[in-house]
Amino acid sequence: MQSRYFLAAALLGAATFAAALYFQYVEGLAPCKLCMWQRYGLAVGIGGALLAALFIRSRAALALGSIGALGFIGEAAAAFYHTGVEQKWWAGPSTCSGTTLNVGTFDPDKLGNWLDSGKAAPRCDEIPWDFLGLSMANWNVPIALGFAMLCLMGLRGAGRE
């Protein structure tokens, strides 16, 4: 029944993704560049875990479960990096931290569209939301590592059921 671990990682990951979309589309909290990096890892993790659960009896489950675990580890790494940017431990990407004006690629049309939208540009080095004193990126580190752990637990018996 190792597929339960993969399925749990995929379903809990999907719930996390749904929560991120809720905050974006219902609460109006636009994701910054580093938030998007976390979503890429989350998507890979969900896909790998789900496919590993579906193909648990085949050797492909080992590869797919490993991809799922690596996706979630990548998500945790991006969240840890984002945490460091928020806490000013290190500088973030220039496109979402400090000044965001890049003279080499400045596009007046994009600036005009953004100004017309009335929305604030999301910054990676500011914390727009927190719970119990921790930002979304802070919470995402242990959550993503938990999903990775579920995948690793699923790998113990993958391909043998």
pLDDT in tens, 72-85: 999 999 999 989 88
How much is the mean pLDDT over the chain?
83
Of 88-92, 102-106, 154-158, minimum mean pLDDT range = 102-106
Per residue in 132-144, pLDDT (tens digit) is: 877 888 889 999 9
Percent of the chain scoring above 90 in pLDDT = 45
Q: Retrieve residue 26's tokens.
A: 């219902």
Beta strands per DSSP E along the chain: 130-131, 134-135
CA distances, 43 to each of 3, 13, 93, 116 (Å): 18, 8, 22, 31
Kindly give, in sequence order, each residue whose CB lies less than 8 Å from that of residue 35, ignoring residues fewer than 6 positions away. Answer: 20, 82, 122, 124, 136, 137
Domains of the chain, each with CATH number or no CATH: 3-92+100-155 (1.20.1550.10)
CB 6 within 8 A of CB 50: yes
pLDDT attached to residue 98: 58
